[in-house]
Amino acid sequence: MALFRLLIIFVISIVLELYMFCEGHEMCANGLPLVKKASLKFCSLGNQDYGCCTEEYESTIKEKFDDLMAKIPENLAEACSSNLKEMLCHICHPLSGHSFESVVKLELPGMCPNYCQEFFQKCETLIQYLGKKSKKTYLLSKNSKDFCKKMETKDISYCYPDVKSNIDVMPGMSSNGNENNMATSHVSLGPECVCFKQMQGESILPMKIQELKDGSGRLLVAELAGILSIFHANGTKEKKPYFDIVDYINRKDYEDQHTSFGLPSFALHPNFNANGKLYVIYAKLIHGKLTHRVSEFIMTSDVQPEKTERILLELEPPYKWHNLDDLFFGDDGYLYIFNGDGGIQGDPDKLAQNGKSFFGKALRIDVDTRSGSKEYGIPPDNPFVNDDSMAPEVFAYGLRNPWRCSEDSGDIITGKGKSRIFCVDVGFNKYEEINIVKKGGNYGWNGKEGFSCFDSKICNKMEHEEFPIFAYNHMKGKSVIGGEVYRGNCIPHLQGKYLFADYYFK
């Protein structure tokens, strides 16, 4: 029986999608994007680097405050002016979208229970001046307990005035001195878990999800048999596949129905909406030999996909495991391809450390140009273009089974972290690891597994060695599944966190 064990909360290989069903909202209640700390004169952000108020928006808060102070009795103004100012200015807090979710919405932030009781006793009559919703809520409340119940936030972590600072919940925006430590940091704020909803419509061995990015909110989901299906923003699946090469790759021919065979990954060309170019990893039997390909297809409504195929790479693996795993287009427009060591225990042929072999490597190619007889171009800044001992396609090496890799889109304000490549590497029998893949880096296999020495002959003698940012032993999991850095607005306490999972049979 297959047991899916989540180390954190993210599984890329099952049809669940966090951002589609996140029942959240923007960070800023006023609808503005987060801005670098402005020179605010009326509202103070304290030690926070980012907020939701520009100087112009702050002036509207000041006008509202002055208007209210002119309307309320003098004794009330004297007693409650400080409370009023601080609550009105709380909309500038970088998590105000979560605080201002009580029944009165933007008129008052949702309050922590103890503070609400104190505020009610001190400033009860002030409430009816704050707006129609506040007045109605006040008049319909039987007592302070009833009123404060209505003023609760959905998540107590964001109640006013105890809402945590953005430094606690947005590590990508803070100065922690080491931007590569994100995978080892823990979620320190917010709910104990995040709820997922399953998409409607059955998928057989779903492998990867990618947004179409045409403004429709639709998702493409890869199924191992050779299908890309469309899921709409409401979670429903279209009956007809968007892309179908099931008969072409004929996965039923394989004796072993392992995930190394079939269609494990795909990527859309950066200009896909204009050129319709789709890039797919798949495996099929050719003249009786298992062959892995990276191919380009052009999506047209009246032509079978295989008739538009341009084969970029074709590899005959030495063994049946750990072959072409994943691919994506980077911010630089180049196609990154991640290939395992070719399989069998321990990489006995040492392909991952063999610079001329494509196995155990991260490759980087240009699909829009050609180099000599190749069906693709070699980026001129690839790290080994002038090294005769290495294939010019190699971007990084020393990988065992890089099952899922992704590129960080970066902090939405500062851009910090942008273009970092996170890649999990499934271990052999001791350790699972997560790497930030850098140009020219050697990630150790099969000299090392995680931080541990695997082959003592080469363990401490490898060039260009890069260490994992995180590794865990097989007491905690068996097979690491990557993984994305969360950069959405719906779940602030996950902002800047790398999310991954673990999978094993038991």
Q: pLDDT by residue for the chain (506 residues), tens digit each?
A: 333 333 333 333 333 333 333 444 467 888 777 776 667 889 976 666 678 888 899 999 999 999 999 999 999 999 999 999 999 999 988 878 778 875 666 688 889 999 999 999 999 999 989 888 888 888 888 899 999 998 888 777 788 988 754 334 333 333 333 333 322 222 233 444 566 667 766 667 889 999 998 888 899 999 988 999 999 888 889 999 999 999 998 866 555 555 557 899 999 999 999 999 999 999 988 888 889 999 999 998 778 888 999 999 999 888 877 888 999 999 999 999 999 998 888 999 999 999 999 999 999 999 999 999 999 999 999 999 999 999 999 999 999 999 999 999 998 778 889 999 999 999 998 999 999 999 999 999 999 999 999 999 999 899 999 999 999 999 888 899 988 999 887 777 788 889 998 886 55
CA gap 498, 482 in Å, rounded: 9
Is 85 inside a domain boundary?
Answer: yes
Is 64 inside a domain boundary?
Answer: yes
Of 302, 27, 298, 57, give the one whose Cα is nearest residue 165.
Answer: 27
Contact by Cβ (8 Å): 165, 173: no
The pair of structure tokens assigned to 135 is: 């007045």
Contact by Cβ (8 Å): 429, 474: yes
Is residue 218 within a helix (H) or strand (E), and if so which, with residue range? none
Is 110 inside a domain boundary?
Answer: yes
Is 45 inside a domain boundary?
Answer: yes
Beta bridge partners of 165: none
Tokens 């400080």, located at residue: 82
Is 341 inside a domain boundary?
Answer: no
Pinpoint the alpha helices (H) of 181-275: 246-249, 272-275
Contact by Cβ (8 Å): 503, 478: yes
Is 97 inside a domain boundary?
Answer: yes
Domain that holds residue 142: 35-162
Composition of the chain by helix, strand, coil, percent to 5: 25, 25, 55
Contact by Cβ (8 Å): 23, 8: no
Is 111 inside a domain boundary?
Answer: yes
Contact by Cβ (8 Å): 303, 268: no
Cis amide bond preceding 161, omega within 30:
yes
Is 19 inside a domain boundary?
Answer: no
The pair of structure tokens assigned to 429 is: 């029998």
Q: How many distinct structural domains can be found in the chain?
A: 1
CA gap 487, 250 in Å, rounded: 38
The pair of structure tokens assigned to 458 is: 């080469």
